[in-house]
Amino acid sequence: MRVLLTGGAGFVGSHIADLLRERRHDVVLLDNLLPQAHAGIPEWTTDLVRGDVRDHSLLLDLLPGVDAVCHQAAVVGHGLDPSDAPMYVLNNDHGTAVLLAAMHSAGVRRLVLASSMVVYGEGRYVCSAHGVVRPGPRLESDISAGRYEPPCPLCGASLTWDLVPEDAPLDPRSTYAATKVAQENLASAWARQAGGSVWALRYHNVYGPRMPRDTPYAGVASLFRSALQRGAAPTVLEDGRQSRDFVHVRDVALANALALETPVSGFSAVNVCSGEPHTVGDLATELSLACGGPAPLIVGGARAGDVRHVVASPDRARSSLGFQARVTFADGVKAFATDPLREPATC
């Protein structure tokens, strides 16, 4: 299969490229090397077309003969503040719209889209009295007082988190999350209008070698690792008990390869996760031990848009793609202590 891989020099994209080539696919890498993530062309990237998914003419040159597109190109992460919104929208949403238009013109009908668990906002919660409920955004006054758990919106009682299925309501709570929902909606509309097929892979907290470091757009694992390399304690917000699913980048690459190789009708979203929940504090503690560094520093507070618990159900990915994560949390975090990271970005 000939695959156009956007964001092919990136953290996730480069691992997908390696695995697709191992599986004897022909891969065309496209990346514009945004300075938020790249200090230059990474040493592990070869045969790169440097260009932008917003360049319709370039896409029409690259798409002939392509069987499927694996769309990883995006501005990711929490960012700085709402002033980032135009950059997120231009790269993530406008870029996806241009790509889909070019795919339609070129007659390419298969897409694998990098989505994210952030589309869910808060995860799935159960109230003992009211069943499954959707808590609203947490109040600054509660966070300042150290009350981090969202209460039941109907009775104010404590809630229990549960695994989030793919049919959970989408509730984006950051600019990045809003652009990911928009990407899914654009891809779903394209699939209906163009007779295309889309796997939207909702990545959970991805970590592993080649993560960008020293950038506000990096994931929490990279921020902890960067602090430890400086000899500083990793800083953990809230009380460290917020639950996540940390999935290794090589498992994410496998999910993409399986999605490219598995036919689907129309649009289908799947969680890409390890199925092994852990807290943010667990990650900081285990990484500190693996690095031989200072213990984590729990500082309270939270960033605007942060959510408390998001832990996914792996069932649909297992049944529809045959995907099951292979890298355990213990093995992945131990390796991450010495994994090579991407050189610091230039801005």
Please give the domain boundaries of the chain with CATH numbers for all domains.
Answer: 2-120+164-210+246-276+308-327 (3.40.50.720)
pLDDT of residue 41: 76
- Cα gap 31→17, rounded to integer Å: 12
Question: In this predicted structure, what is the pLDDT of residue 345?
Answer: 55
The amino acid at 75: V
Tokens of 60: 């029409």
State the pTM of this model. 0.95
CB 50 within 8 A of CB 32: yes
List per-residue pLDDT tens for the chain, 347 residues long.
999 999 999 999 999 999 999 999 999 999 998 876 676 777 787 889 999 999 999 999 999 999 999 999 999 877 667 888 999 999 999 999 999 999 999 999 999 999 999 999 999 999 999 999 999 889 999 999 999 999 999 999 999 999 999 999 999 989 999 999 999 999 999 999 999 999 999 999 999 999 987 776 678 999 999 999 999 999 999 999 999 999 999 999 999 999 999 999 999 999 999 999 999 999 999 999 999 999 999 999 998 778 999 999 999 999 999 999 999 999 999 999 999 987 765 54
Cα–Cα nearest to 4, from 25, 22, 19 = 25
pLDDT value of residue 193 = 97
Q: Which two tokens stand for residue 340?
A: 């090579």
Structure tokens at 319: 């049944």
Handedness of CA 192, 198, 204, 207 (dihedral sign): negative
How close are the terminal C-alpha atoms of the chain, in Å? 37
**Quick check: 186 and 248 in contact, CB under 8 A?**
no
| Cβ atoms < 10 Å from Cβ of 131 | 9
pLDDT of residue 347: 42
Cα–Cα distance measured from residue 113 to residue 111, given in angstroms and rounded to the nearest whole number: 6
pLDDT (0 to 100) of residue 217: 66
pLDDT value at position 82?
A: 83
